Structure 1
Amino acid sequence: MMADQTISRRTLLTTLAGTGTAALIGCDPAGRRQPGTATTVPDALLVEVDGGLGVLRGGERLTIPRAVATPDGQAVYATAPDGAGTTFWRIDTATGHTSTRVTLPGQWLPQAVSTDGTRVALTSNAANATYGRPDGRDVTPVLIADVTGVRHRFELRGNFVPEAFTEDLAGLFVLEWLPARAPDRYRVRVVDLATRTPGPLSTRVKTPVPPGAEEEMRGDGRQAVLAPNRSTLYTLYTHQPDHRHTRDLISGRPGNAHAFVHTLNLVERWAYCVDLPHPFGEAPASGHALAIGPAGDRLYVLDVTSGTVAEISTEELAVRGTAALAQGTGRAHAAAGPDRLFVGAGTEVRALELERFGAASGWSVREPVTGLVLSPDGRHLYVGQKDAVSWHDPATGEQLGRAEVPGLVVVHGLAGRA
């Protein structure tokens, strides 16, 4: 949610379509194609390159700025300025097929997509819930659209940034930045789309948060992941000195959480924070990462600076234990499989055995890691590096292939499968 975050909820998208051994190519914002290197990537990947994010597919890519991906990577919603309006359309990442383009009145940028992939929240400025602090403002225009055009259009009094939709599409979770004209902190609220009114969330026991007890956050929202069943959004926060959760504000406890996982239930509209033990939150936020297991019952939080990994039960919303990992430096990345947790930082990749929580092996790669993604069948671990993506045998670390991707910033996740 801050400038230091790597996120998986939404992406400005550079999409790469196609299969086989065709040359890796791209389009700049003006639509010109750029030559590249012939390489075939086994799985389609969502990636970020200079100026946008995208999908690698086989050996081709198509660059689309000003766009956002659905949570499952199956589609991309793109926008383009069109005089006084904005052209808006959907692209199927598995086939490259596009919907009919519609024109939205005014200038808009996409910010969040519903978990079912049908609705998009757009605002008039570039700041979104995963990157950056918005400029000061008293009023926030918001537009909700689908492939048919505008569904809702309204203005919120204050400084708001869309974050996610409720599961029933009747509400929009937003970050309200305070104070509106000079924001330095924010709180999560939900806008009723029928009344266009923002209000507080509920507690974990489904009672409304009382006035004055809404959490206000100042630290770094490092990363967010969506549960496999799409019902819950988990966000890792670090550097929250003297932070007081809603439960602390209600009970009167002082509170002093340096790091926690903010749990947002998209179905029942409640939030709960899972505090992380020391030393989480003490070291740079970039050295922290979050991953969710494929069954959705376990979250893993790691701090490579201290070499600490925590396991969280998503049912109990509690830390079940911690383990030691080799200390590292640099930006951390993580990917969880059914039996192993993969951690990347610097030029090292570690594999932690989950059955024997703490037993680890590892290997080195050519350049500093910029993302880890495990293939659906578990046969490939994709490792982002400088201007390239390599894929490895997860059991041995043997490099099985490498594709040059000029301007690669980070590998985010999987794209749609044909």
Structure 2
Amino acid sequence: MMSRTPLTRRTLLTALAGAGVATLAGCEPARTATAEPAVAVPDPLLVEVDGGMTVLRGTNRRTVPHALATADGSALWASAAAGADTTLARIDTGTGRGSVPITLPGRWLPQAVSTDGTTVALTPDAHGATDRPAGRTASPVLVVDSTGIRHRLRLRGNHVPEAFSADHTGLFVLEWLPAAAPDRYRVRVVDLATGAPGPLSTRNKTPVPPGAEEEMRGDGRQAVLAPDRRVLYTLYTHQADHRHTRDLVSGRPGNVHAFVHTLNLAERWAYCVDLPHPFGEAAAAGHAMAISPDGTRLLVVDVASGALAEVSTEELTVRRTAVLAAGPGGTGHAVAGRDRLFVGAGPTVRAVDLATLRAVDTWPVREPATGLVLSPDGRRLHVGQPAAVSWHDTTSGAELGRVPVPGLVGLGGLAAPA
């Protein structure tokens, strides 16, 4: 199901253990039992660990168990059980300071956060939006900002919040069908003023006709947010016999194995960019996607076959394709800089020149990669690995440093500067 991705979708989403969430918890100097000198991480990182999110900054690490990060990594929304109720606070990842906790009646977990980081949707049982939920016929949702509860929703059916509209008046949700025994889902938008869910528009901004909403059965592999935070791109694979809205409207047959679902958060329309063969044929985990820093192109790779596609975000078409050497399989990761795309799979990182889409270098890393994050200046590539993070020179691939991180699941992205 949905993979954990660098601050472009959602992180680990469950309750914050303990009563206090006013500051980042669990400050731990990164020292070994033999008191060897601590190694300083050169860039502040958000690291997903078992049960929570850790901020690595210099030689220190601070953990908020089970928190949801904002898109830019500047804050964490964290909830905590308080008797029969829940407290919720917004924590600054640069200073560690938190807002005054808000008390919410009942038990709630953060599920989706607005792209500006100011508003959060909470549900009783948060998880990845495309992870199949248990059957249910009603879905309670709270929408909260720093002033308190803004909306109380009880949606008929089986809904999971995914993202907010850019103007905060709509909440995009995945509606799972059938509600009591879900096996597929469709993207809808809830009008927060009325609480009523409805269909999205097509790319030409016309309403989707009844019966023409796309229903997905495959894997939502990864999502990335455009740099301007107006568009959310999600990579879907294994969509055998899938029919897009445009096919349903026109009556054309559909048989799509992989595509990029484009969701415009400002204008509330969706469009799917089909990916060519062999995308979607191999395991979903081997697919990865990255967006260029200027937001003009998406790079999609399948590490098993070596297939690489460049998608124009303006034209919403596949502009170029290339074939890299087939990798060892396993889980793929990707991040794009100004001139290079970095692809991690197994104990290998590959550098791809974006002008030619050709691999220009291959570096070994000590263990299989679990995530990639570029430094703000593009000079260092941080590589998550089981129980460790290493960082490498982006020109030579040389390892510049390494710190142990027990329980590491993946890299969440860059945290705010101090």
TM-score (norm 2): 0.93
Q: 1:221 to 1:5 in 2, by over 3 A?
A: farther
Cα distance in 2, alignment partners of residues 77 and 5 from structure 1: 17
Partner of 1:152: 151
* Matches for 1:40-55 after TM superposition, within 5 Å: 40-55=40-55
Partner AA of 2:362 in structure 1: G
Partner AA of 2:302 in structure 1: D
Cα distance in 2, alignment partners of residues 261 and 236 from structure 1: 5
Write the deviation string for residues 177-197 of structure 1: whole angstroms up to 9, x where unpaired. 000000000000000000100
Partner of 1:115: 115
Write the deviation string for residues 166-212 of structure 1: whole angstroms up to 9, x where unpaired. 00000000000000000000000000000100000000000000000
Identity of aligned residues (%): 68
Partner of 2:344: 344
Conserved in 2, the CA contact under 8 Å of 1:12 and 1:68?
yes
Write the deviation string for residues 210-265 of structure 1: whole angstroms up to 9, x where unpaired. 00000000000000000000000000000000000000000000011100000000
SS at match of 2:249: helix
Write the deviation string for residues 113-166 of structure 1: whole angstroms up to 9, x where unpaired. 001111000001133315x21100000000000122111112000000000000
Partner AA of 2:283 in structure 1: P
Partner of 1:184: 183
Structure 2: gaps (5+ residues): none
Partner of 1:224: 223
Conserved in 2, the CA contact under 8 Å of 1:12 and 1:69?
no
Write the deviation string for residues 341-373 of structure 1: whole angstroms up to 9, x where unpaired. 000001010000011222421110110011111
Q: 1:386 to 1:166 in 2, by over 3 A?
A: same
Partner of 2:413: 413
Partner AA of 1:354 in structure 2: L
Q: 1:384 to 1:36 in 2, by over 3 A?
A: farther
Report the CA distance between 1:379 and its aligned residue. Answer: 1.1
Segment drifting more, 57-66 vs 285-294: 57-66
Segment drifting more, 196-205 vs 83-92: 83-92
Tell me whether 1:24 sits opposite 2:30 in the alignment: yes
TM-score (norm 1): 0.93
SS at match of 2:295: coil
Partner AA of 1:173 in structure 2: F
Partner of 2:170: 171
- Alignment: residue pair count: 405
* Matches for 1:314-353 after TM superposition, within 5 Å: 314-328=313-327, 329-353=329-353
Cα distance in 2, alignment partners of residues 112 and 17 from structure 1: 20
Write the deviation string for residues 308-330 of structure 1: whole angstroms up to 9, x where unpaired. 11000000000001111121111
Report the CA distance between 1:383 and its aligned residue. Answer: 0.5
Q: 1:232 to 1:50 in 2, by over 3 A?
A: same
Conserved in 1, the CA contact under 8 Å of 2:28 and 2:62?
no
Partner of 1:31: none
Conserved in 1, the CA contact under 8 Å of 2:2 and 2:128?
no
Cα distance in 2, alignment partners of residues 74 and 174 from structure 1: 24
Partner AA of 2:54 in structure 1: G
Cα distance in 2, alignment partners of residues 173 and 208 from structure 1: 15
Partner of 1:373: 373
Segment drifting more, 6-15 vs 264-273: 6-15
Conserved in 1, the CA contact under 8 Å of 2:4 and 2:10?
no
Cα distance in 1, alignment partners of residues 46 and 345 from structure 2: 20
